[in-house]
Chains A and B, each alone.
Chain A
């Protein structure tokens, strides 16, 4: 908080306006309160009237403060607000939210479901706690503001990577150890739906899938390829669609760690052999993760294609590049082409027409390589590099080739050590 004394225009305005409902309060603040005599008349204490001016002379303000700025400070910037802490001591029951944790962080979908869990507790009453169950690597730092009362992080080598069988065994043990009222899963392709179905089959519960309107008694879920609304009693296991409830944003939660006693699991019958190398250009552009996009600023097209191959990026193009015949129409990004959802989008020589910017609206990180520092793409980008694209792409390819070499030799070393 700064110590600068600032004018409070609102207070001044109230002081000037004698009809304002708060005028009395402000005026009395200024003068030290009014005193009424025994007959009810307002008495003025003559020694308290006025104030000492800057050169030591007593001044009486007959304008009732209308001419001067009233005292009192107002902070310049809004302070960081500490949200109220929601505490749950020795809960009677738990609502388990098995989060997707894509990339180790809570997704928007997960947060909506945490919000729904709190809504269910509020409706059902009782002392319930919301538990976030997560597997594998966790990078999330804001469990407390997402509405997580307890965190159950199940760690172990058996749960890393693709391990639905081990995970469902652990969840069945959680069910045995704690009193669980509901299991909430995101109905997502990130594994939430798969895990929920496995758990439901294991526990013999009938789940509600694609649920989108849930309260303590009733659940509305989609059926028959989303053409039917099925209303039923709220079951124990729920798979929820996105935006099923609002995320928590007004409270802070404890996020105390919980533990599972027994985390031993039987040997898996499904063995994970890791991710496959996929041809980046075979991935539909709308869902590609990493796009290298070319525009009017590209002159060396062979180099651009080579760069895309070396980086392992899906190729994209602006309208100009497509109209000029350098790229096929199916590669066009923007209003008339594809609306992309990439995490990283490298725009080479694209100045950023508004139609193109619409197409990349959902992109997380944009990197611009351009000769014009004032173009719209540079304003949008998280990292902009001003210069000749040919030179920069050549350097970038060199770096990536070096990186691949070292990681390959590292692997070879590891293999030889293991042998």
Chain B
């Protein structure tokens, strides 16, 4: 029996021009969903069904996009959790953080908490699904990968390390069906009190010298950043030299 895979998509924002586009991580989630479920993938958006960006997602080869119709200021969470419950999803894929709005990255966590499902964050790939368990690769810093297994159903947020999304085709995107359903009308009341402004450049941290005496200040201003107190091996045998390097590599744990 094929598994029910749902990808959640949102409207992205181009980092330079600021125009709306398909979000990077969300389109990777769609790509992974297509790999897992083919055209059986259900792609869900909570928002406006007239949004032209949804056509860009649909152009990846989706016959239809489900839209939970709701206002921009409405909370997407109740509608999404109701939908996921009703559809009996096995795997829900989202991006790590949206590119518009608050972009707190809390949606998958809150959904998981409401549904009582496990969540795996920063997924690079889902390798295989067997016996109600999925083998998942997590993306770690410095290009490392961790393998975990998790029971279905679960929510995964897709990292930038996942496979890049395929190109979007314009024509099929236009032909795709937008299946609109009614979403939630619950307003996000907390957000009303916030004030939003275009991001200011963050001040660079200055190197403040807290020296008490002139001598210390002089030293701080003139000292070289590197002490140059490295160990130099000249006359030892090649074996001893190699041993010294080897010990350092073991100590730094780069050789396991």
**Residues of A in contact with B (beta carbons under 8 Å apart):** 78, 162, 164-165, 189-190, 193-194, 197-198, 200-202, 206-207, 209-210, 212, 222-233, 243, 246, 249-250, 269-276, 278, 282-284, 287-290, 311-313, 343-344, 346, 364-367, 369, 373, 378-388, 391-396, 398-400, 403, 407
Say yes or no: A229 contacts B193, CB within 8 Å.
no
Number of A-B contacts (CB under 8 A): 224
List 28 A-B residue pairs with CB atoms under 8 Å apart, sorted by A's residue number.
A197-B109, A198-B119, A201-B112, A201-B113, A224-B99, A225-B13, A230-B194, A231-B195, A231-B197, A232-B195, A246-B205, A270-B149, A272-B148, A273-B135, A273-B146, A273-B148, A276-B146, A289-B254, A311-B249, A344-B254, A365-B248, A373-B232, A378-B230, A385-B241, A391-B238, A394-B238, A396-B246, A399-B242
Contact between B195 and A225, CB atoms less than 8 A apart? no
**Interface flag for B233 (CB, 8 Å):** yes
- 17 more contacts with CB within 8 A, not counting A202-B113, A222-B199, are A162-B138, A164-B121, A194-B121, A201-B112, A223-B101, A225-B99, A228-B199, A270-B118, A274-B147, A275-B147, A380-B230, A382-B230, A382-B248, A384-B231, A384-B232, A385-B233, A394-B238
Are the CB atoms of B245 and A385 closer together than 8 Å?
yes
Does B226 contact A287, Cβ atoms closer than 8 Å? no
Overall SS of chain B's interface: mixed
Whether a CB of chain A sits under 8 angstroms from the CB of B130 is no
Do B141 and A190 touch across chains, with their CB atoms under 8 A apart? yes
B contact residues, total (Cβ < 8 Å)? 74
The reply to whether A287 and B142 form a contact with Cβ atoms under 8 Å apart is: yes
Interface of A is mostly: mixed
Take A201-B106, A201-B110, A343-B254 as given contacts and tell me if A287 and B141 are in contact as well, using a CB distance cutoff of 8 Å: yes
Q: Whose C-beta in chain B lies nearest to the C-beta of A343? A: B252
Check if A384 sits within 8 Å of B230, measured CB to CB.
yes
B106 to chain A: closest CB distance in Å? 6
Contact yes or no, A396 B205, CB < 8 A? no
A383 touching B230 by the CB < 8 A rule? yes
B222 on the A face (CB < 8 A) = no
Query: Does B2 have its Cβ within 8 Å of any Cβ on chain A?
Result: no
- A395 and B249 in contact (CB under 8 A), knowing A233-B193, A269-B151? no
Q: Which residues of A contact B197 (CB under 8 A)?
A: 228-229, 231
Cα separation A224 to B12 with both chains bound (whole Å): 9
